[in-house]
Each structure stands twice: as C-alpha cells, then as structure tokens.
C-alpha cells in the first residue's frame, strides 16, 4: 500500500477549527478552502497516476525472479492533468446553512460547524472532492493596476496569426491592435571561429510588428 502523510496545513485546518464569527469570517473562508484542497490532495492525485513496472531476472531471459516497483507519472502527465483541473475549477461561496448529506462520517467530524462550499452560480452542481475551487475571480489583467503589480496589455506585441494566449485576439482583450513596419538591426551570418568565438555581421531588416491598442 502506498500512502502520503497529511501535510501540516491540512492538519492545522482540523486542529484550529472554530465557530464562525463576523470577525473570523475571512479566516474561516480560508480554512474551508484549505480543507477542500486537503480533500482534493494533489499528492494523492499524483499517486493515482503511478503505475507498476517490472523487470525479470533469470538465465537466458527467463523470468525466474521478477522485481516490481511503482513508478511516478512523468511531469508532462502530471502537468496536463493539473492543467485540466485548473481549467475546470469551480467558483464557490461559503455557506453554513444546508445539510452535510453526501459527506462520510470522517468528513462530518471535521465539518462539525456545518460549514460548506456551495456553487457561486446556483445552476451549477456542488464541487466534488476532486474539483479545484476558488472564491474570487482573477483580477483583470487587461488593464494596468499598479496596486496589484499588473502592467496591462496596452502596447504589448502580439502574434496576429496565433489562436493562443500570444495571439492578438486574446492578448489585446478585444481592443484591437495596430500593425507597423519597422526596421530593426539584428545579428546575422554568424560563424564559429576556432577557438572559441562566434562572429556575426549586423543586418538591417524590415519586420511587421503587431501591437495591442
């Protein structure tokens, strides 16, 4: 059996659980979120992707003795899985009214003050134990906000042929973009000289640059 120890933050959620008061509302919200994250448990999610690998030992390739071990998934597999969960995260709000039906006895004990997360949109289903959740939407990264250290996207260069985050449609937040022809100086015709130097010429080239409005 492969298990992971409870993290310190998860233990603190249970250890310091207190009744909800006006003064402690913000703290309670944080604790509920941490508790939910503790249930989703990223380490457990990673362990679910572990797979068994075996190697045979014996004369002439026979499998007289077989050694097996558990191998973690690759970083790419873990990253793709977490990215999918991040994209599907649910916005929630704190509620201390309603039943705790659907929670097992162990979770009932930890939620003894009947605090739970419910969907921000009443038409959405409640988040499951494997769903990531958030309370507040992300700030607007399109406009400059010095307090939050957000520079905005005005004046940012974009790619007018890309449909990704670097594309002008997304990067410019629907404001449009302008296109300019610019002459830039770049290194060119670089060659390696023994030993050990790279020498280049400098060329002036004309480029098309797209910039967010």
Q: Is residue 102 part of a domain?
A: yes
Q: Is residue 40 part of a domain?
A: yes
pLDDT higher for 78 or 182? 182
For residues 205 and 186, the answer to whether their CB atoms sit within 8 Å is: yes
Of 80, 104, 134, the one marking the end of a domain is 134
Q: Is residue 2 part of a domain?
A: no
For residues 88 and 108, the answer to whether their CB atoms sit within 8 Å is: no
Whether residue 161 sits in one domain with residue 123: no
Q: Is residue 141 part of a domain?
A: no
Whether residue 157 sits in one domain with residue 62: no
CA distance 6 to 15: 13
Q: Is residue 98 part of a domain?
A: yes
Helix spans in the chain (H): 8-15, 25-40, 42-48, 75-87, 105-110, 168-171
Q: What is the pTM of this model?
A: 0.48
> Mean pLDDT, to the nearest integer, of 26-51?
66
pLDDT of residue 168: 94
Report the domain count for the chain: 2
Whether residue 39 sits in one domain with residue 111: yes
> Is residue 129 helix, strand or coil?
coil
Whether residue 152 sits in one domain with residue 98: no
Whether residue 97 sits in one domain with residue 27: yes
Of 76, 100, 134, the one marking the end of a domain is 134
pLDDT band at 9 (very low <50, low <70, confident <90, very high): very low
pLDDT of residue 201: 94
CA distance 34 to 41: 10
pLDDT of residue 77: 85
Q: Is residue 3 part of a domain?
A: no
**In CATH, what number is assigned to the domain containing residue 203?**
3.30.2460.20
Residue 173, domain extent: 146-212
Whether residue 16 sits in one domain with residue 70: yes
For residues 65 and 59, the answer to whether their CB atoms sit within 8 Å is: no
Q: Is residue 128 part of a domain?
A: yes
Whether residue 170 sits in one domain with residue 71: no
Token pair in block for residue 119:
């969907």
- Tally Cβ neighbours within 10 Å of residue 35: 21
pLDDT band at 25 (very low <50, low <70, confident <90, very high): low
Of 134, 158, 181, the one marking the end of a domain is 134
For residues 127 and 133, the answer to whether their CB atoms sit within 8 Å is: yes
């Amino acid at each position: 059996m492969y298990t992971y120890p409870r993290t310190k933050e998860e233990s603190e959620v249970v250890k310091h659980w207190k009744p909800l008061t006006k003064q402690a509302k913000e703290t309670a919200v944080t604790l509920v979120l941490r508790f939910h994250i503790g249930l989703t448990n990223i380490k457990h999610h990673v362990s679910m992707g572990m797979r068994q690998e075996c190697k045979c030992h014996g004369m002439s390739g026979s499998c007289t003795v077989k050694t097996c071990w558990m191998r973690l998934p690759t970083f790419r597999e873990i990253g793709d899985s977490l990215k999918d969960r991040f994209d599907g995260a649910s916005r929630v709000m704190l509620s201390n009214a309603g039943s705790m039906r659907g929670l097992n006895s162990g979770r009932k004990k930890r939620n003894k003050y009947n605090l739970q997360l419910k969907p921000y949109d009443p038409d959405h289903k409640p988040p499951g134990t494997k769903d990531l959740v958030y309370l507040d939407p992300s700030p607007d990264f399109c406009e400059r906000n010095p307090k939050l250290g957000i520079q905005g996207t005005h004046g940012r260069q974009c790619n007018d042929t890309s449909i990704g985050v670097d594309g002008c449609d997304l990067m410019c937040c629907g404001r449009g973009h302008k296109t300019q022809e610019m002459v830039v100086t770049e290194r060119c015709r670089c060659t390696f000289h023994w030993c050990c130097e790279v020498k280049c010429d400098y060329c002036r080239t004309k480029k098309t640059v797209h910039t967010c409005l």
